[in-house]
């Protein structure tokens, strides 16, 4: 079924994004997997091509396209290469950018955004803590007022880009007695005394993304590194979760659709009992179901993108797209592994890596269970 939300500009942009992926990402994938990180050169090339500043005004080095469908197109093309790469770039240009653009002072924007857009600075978001998970209001990292700034103590975990981030948006508790209404956002910069990175976490999948623990020990952060309003950090985070979740949905279904296409090619060529395995009725029916499910989900996600672009996407509808796309993604990829047989369990096959990489999408950006809780509450349950 044709997708009708794109125009000629989007198609031209997709061609540029694909060319970047084919030239700068695909040939380096084995290196990224071995080193468990994305080398700086790939970031700098993305910045040079204008992919990292889509939401950033031109005066700060971005393109300020004002059309979320461009974010969608870039995420889709990167997701076709690797779910991990999409998550790393997505945290930077899709999740962190709105914080800097919407909440930053003029001085902060001038200081950070030009290098953010060029890829010289890589961004991460430090919200999740070892004891908190999806419960952002329960964080334990503290920031105590000091002369000219704040002193941070605490830790974060599961931080995408944490291994190499130059700028980390950190949520810390500034007024403990106010609960969720006492959280503030700070920008921690590489090289600050008291800021340390833990080991690269040994994940089940998404090997090529540098996911790390972050530690703050008596870390002094000046007042001019406070991002947004004092004690309104939780609200700032909630206001931007819809974009994070629709962005996750975009990547989820693009990733699944690509591997399903590759699996269809495989079952046309792979033979058993004298015929292509795709011609067996069970496999044929299964693939028909998977293709339909992917296309239905794609239409739903596209509708969510348009709603977000028109400022109509609610937090509840974003939750729906996030959990459903993750569910379908994992269902499709599990079936693709099965259709590959024993080869589907071999790491040298993309389908095996994709299957591993996808499992976390039902957990991050708010677990699927939390998404359903939000939806249930909205229904008055």
Q: Mean per-residue pLDDT for 243-270?
A: 98
CB 169 within 8 A of CB 227: yes
Alpha helices (H) along the chain: 8-20, 29-35, 40-48, 68-81, 83-90, 97-103, 106-118, 233-269, 281-309, 315-340, 350-358, 368-378
Helix 315-340 / helix 233-269 crossing angle, nearest 10 deg: 30
- Residues with Cβ within 8 Å of residue 191, at least 6 apart in sequence: none
- Residues with Cβ within 8 Å of residue 154, at least 6 apart in sequence: 129, 139, 140, 141, 142, 172, 215, 216
Q: Of residues 244, 262, 310, 348, which has the active-site annotation?
A: 244
Calculate the alpha carbon distances from 126 to 43, 77, 268, 324 in Å: 20, 26, 45, 25
Q: Mean per-residue pLDDT for 24-30?
A: 97
List domains and CATH numbers for the chain.
8-121 (1.10.540.10), 125-230 (2.40.110.10), 234-379 (1.20.140.10)
**What is d(CA 34, CA 19) in angstroms, rounded to the nearest whole number?**
24
Sign of CA dihedral 81, 87, 89, 94: positive
State the chain's mean pLDDT as an integer. Answer: 96
Question: Over the stretch 111-147, which tens digit does the pLDDT of each residue have?
Answer: 999 999 999 999 999 999 988 766 777 899 999 999 9
pLDDT of residue 133: 65
Decide if pLDDT at 369 tops 90.
Answer: yes
35 in catalytic set: no
Question: Over the stretch 286-335, which tens digit does the pLDDT of each residue have?
Answer: 999 999 999 999 999 999 999 999 999 999 999 999 999 999 999 999 99
pLDDT of residue 64: 87
Residue 55's SS3 state is coil
């Amino acid at each position: 079924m044709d997708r009708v939300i794109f125009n000629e500009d989007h198609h031209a942009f997709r061609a540029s994004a694909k060319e970047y992926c084919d030239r700068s990402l695909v040939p380096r994938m084995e290196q990224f997997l071995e080193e468990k990180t994305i080398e700086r050169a790939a970031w700098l090339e993305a910045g040079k091509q204008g992919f990292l500043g889509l939401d950033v005004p031109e005066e700060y080095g971005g393109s300020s396209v004002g059309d979320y469908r461009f974010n969608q197109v870039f995420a889709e093309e990167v997701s076709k290469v690797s779910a991990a790469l999409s998550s790393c770039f997505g945290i930077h240009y899709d999740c962190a950018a709105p914080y800097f653009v919407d909440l930053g002072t003029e001085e902060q924007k001038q200081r950070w955004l030009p290098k953010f857009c060029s890829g010289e600075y890589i961004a991460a978001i430090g919200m999740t803590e070892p004891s908190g998970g999806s419960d952002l209001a329960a964080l334990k990292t503290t920031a105590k007022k000091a002369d000219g700034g704040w002193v941070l103590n605490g830790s974060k975990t599961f931080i995408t880009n944490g291994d190499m981030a130059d700028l980390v948006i950190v949520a810390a508790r500034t007024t403990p007695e106010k609960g969720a209404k006492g959280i503030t956002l700070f920008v921690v910069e590489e090289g600050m005394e008291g800021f340390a990175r833990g080991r690269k976490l040994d994940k089940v999948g998404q090997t090529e993304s540098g996911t790390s623990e972050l530690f703050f020990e008596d870390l002094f952060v000046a007042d001019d590194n406070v991002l947004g309003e004092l004690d309104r950090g939780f609200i700032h985070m909630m206001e931007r979760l819809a974009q994070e979740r629709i962005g996750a949905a975009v990547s989820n279904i693009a990733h699944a659709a690509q591997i399903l296409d590759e699996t269809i090619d495989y079952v046309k060529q792979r033979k058993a009992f004298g015929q292509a395995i795709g011609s067996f009725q069970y496999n044929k029916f299964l693939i028909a179901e998977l293709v339909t499910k992917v296309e239905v989900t794609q239409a739903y996600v596209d509708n969510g993108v348009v709603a977000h672009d028109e400022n109509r996407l609610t937090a509840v509808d974003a939750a729906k797209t996030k959990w459903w796309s993750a569910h379908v993604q994992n269902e499709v990829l599990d079936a693709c592994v099965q259709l590959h047989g024993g080869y589907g369990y071999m790491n040298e096959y993309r389908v095996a890596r994709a299957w591993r990489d996808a499992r976390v999408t039902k957990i991050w950006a708010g677990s699927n269970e939390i998404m359903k809780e939000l939806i249930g509450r909205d229904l008055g349950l």
